[in-house]
Chain A
């Protein structure tokens, strides 16, 4: 079964501390993974997709197929990083059909 697990509901850190938001997935095919972020009172927006290997707002994520993980990292957290973060897996089906499967989300709170 396809599944995305974000084990932490809340991650609380101080400004300047490193951040790691965990994401594990279960998928039998070749995974395509994303991180979406939702700031307070704003829409869900794409932060990263693993195939682009970009660094956005200082965040990076590496796909580890051996550990089936796609953890989101930032070396120095900023207060403006406080938001809800969702890890998502694109599950593909025969015929090119696909859907995004989301984890439950992790709320990141960065304190001054």
Chain B
């Protein structure tokens, strides 16, 4: 099976812009979680989706949002970008929410 894929792999934006990141889970996986990875804060949970519903959200401002489509693909959106949003954004999929999560390669976002 193909692994979790994320697009784009790299992105450069300026402050105030918005960005959309995409995640395609492993075939058959219905749960998708997003994490932010930074040198200072490490890996932090953003949100979890299952069957097109957001089931859980981490401690991030409302500028961070996401959705999941009927084919389980997921997108996350960050509006009004700030310099501190520069990070590696990781997507993970699992067959069900309580099963093992498998990670994608990440999207590296740089905000200038």
- Cα distance A101–B59 in the bound complex, in angstroms: 12
- For B21-53 the 0/1 string (1 means CB < 8 A from A) is 000000000000101000000111100100000
A103→B42 contact, CB < 8 A: yes
B56→A98 contact, CB < 8 A: yes
B90→A98 contact, CB < 8 A: no
B90→A44 contact, CB < 8 A: yes
B48→A43 contact, CB < 8 A: no
A100→B45 contact, CB < 8 A: yes
Q: Is the interface of B mostly helix, strand, loop or mixed?
A: strand
What's the tally of chain B residues with a CB closer than 8 Å to chain A?
A: 23
- Cα distance A95–B97 in the bound complex, in angstroms: 11
Residues of A within 8 A of B8 (CB): none
Q: Is A85 part of the contact surface with B, judged by Cβ < 8 Å?
A: no
Residues of B within 8 A of A92 (CB): 98
Task: In the A-B complex, list the 5 residue pairs whose CB atoms are closest, starting with the nearest.
Answer: A102-B43, A44-B103, A99-B45, A97-B56, A43-B105
Given contacts A46-B102, A93-B56, 5 further A-B contacts (CB under 8 A): A45-B102, A97-B55, A100-B33, A102-B42, A102-B44
